[in-house]
Amino acid sequence: MKRFYAFLTYVWRTLYQAHRATIFSDFLNSITVMVLAGTAAMVMFFLVNFEESLQASKKGISVLVYTHEKPSSQQLKTLSQLPEIEDIKVIPGETILQKEMGKEALRVFREAGVNIPQVISITLEPEKEVSEQFKKIVNHTFQPVYVDYGIEVRRSLGTVLRVIQALSFTTTVLFVVGIIIIVAGGVRSNILMQQQEIEVLKLVGATGRYIAFPYTLKYTYTTFLFITLGLYLFDVLVIGSGVFSSGGGGLLSVKSIPFRFYTYLVLAGTGAAAVSGYYTLRRML
């Protein structure tokens, strides 16, 4: 029991020293860890949002028909008989405008007396393309102001998504490798600076684990702290500021990163720091 208490005292003292060392040293390394975490989160953010859009596009192409005429149920029925049509919805133009540009824009449009067109949202069956017959019916029946077939956008979206997926994977690997290199370098220089102390510890009978533990703990703790700080700053400064939420003209539904992604990044980074620190120490001691 006394030994266990002594061990707890040792852990507590080590943690306290790690906390103090974190504040006063390795500043540059800590900032690098923070930037790495922020970069990884940024790529994750793009991935999450493009993933969302890809899922939507896989369900089938959505054609948006902007028209001032209210379509009759007969017109809609005629259109729905085409084999490529899966679903048809009529959405009030004001709803779309508010979603895309906000309440304030809607108010301005209303006050200016702008006749806002309504939108017929037509979803095609998965993998189906827009046929000539479909175009003819839409143009003759609804006399649209504008038709958004969305094909080009969705094709390029798929390509961008693949690029972002690859980039995301690469960034995560770089994030982990970066932390491994930073921690290994930090541990190495720390050991060289504290050679005298380590030598004395060995002479009085300290085991390799006893010597390695404070350094491992210090670097694990520091990495954890600065990854968390980096992600927090990213969340507040990038997502919280709304830089992306008003962009894209409603094409992408911008979402913040799910909490689990942050957890993955923190765990991966902290784990990499712990393994790298311990492994470097065991090799050097």
Binding residues for another protein (CB under 8 A)? 2-3, 5-7, 9-10, 196-197, 199-208, 210
Q: Please, where are the H alpha helices in the chain?
A: 2-24, 27-58, 73-80, 93-101, 103-111, 132-142, 151-193, 195-203, 208-234, 259-284
d(CA 144, CA 136): 11
> Which neighbouring-strand residues pair with 121?
64, 89
Under 8 Å between Cβ of 123 and 130: no
Q: At its nearest, how many Å lie between another protein and the CB of residue 276?
A: 22
Tell whether the torsion through CA atoms of 146, 151, 156 and 158 is positive or negative: positive
Nearer to another protein, 112 or 203 (CB): 203
Q: At its nearest, how many Å lie between another protein and the CB of residue 1?
A: 9
Q: At its nearest, how many Å lie between another protein and the CB of residue 277?
A: 19
Nearer to another protein, 14 or 67 (CB): 14
d(CA 123, CA 86): 6
- What token pair was written down for 142? 């609804």
Under 8 Å between Cβ of 60 and 86: yes
Q: At its nearest, how many Å lie between another protein and the CB of residue 223?
A: 26
Nearer to another protein, 25 or 256 (CB): 25
Q: At its nearest, how many Å lie between another protein and the CB of residue 214?
A: 12
- What token pair was written down for 95? 């709803």
- What token pair was written down for 282? 């065991």
- What token pair was written down for 31? 């900032």
Q: At its nearest, how many Å lie between another protein and the CB of residue 211?
A: 9
Nearer to another protein, 147 or 281 (CB): 281
100: helix, coil or strand?
A: helix
d(CA 109, CA 105): 6
Nearest to 125 by CA among 80, 60, 58: 60
Nearer to another protein, 7 or 146 (CB): 7
Nearer to another protein, 10 or 146 (CB): 10
Nearer to another protein, 13 or 89 (CB): 13
Q: At its nearest, how many Å lie between another protein and the CB of residue 252?
A: 57
Count other C-beta atoms under 10 Å from residue 256's C-beta: 16
Nearer to another protein, 5 or 24 (CB): 5
Q: At its nearest, how many Å lie between another protein and the CB of residue 191?
A: 14
d(CA 106, CA 37): 39
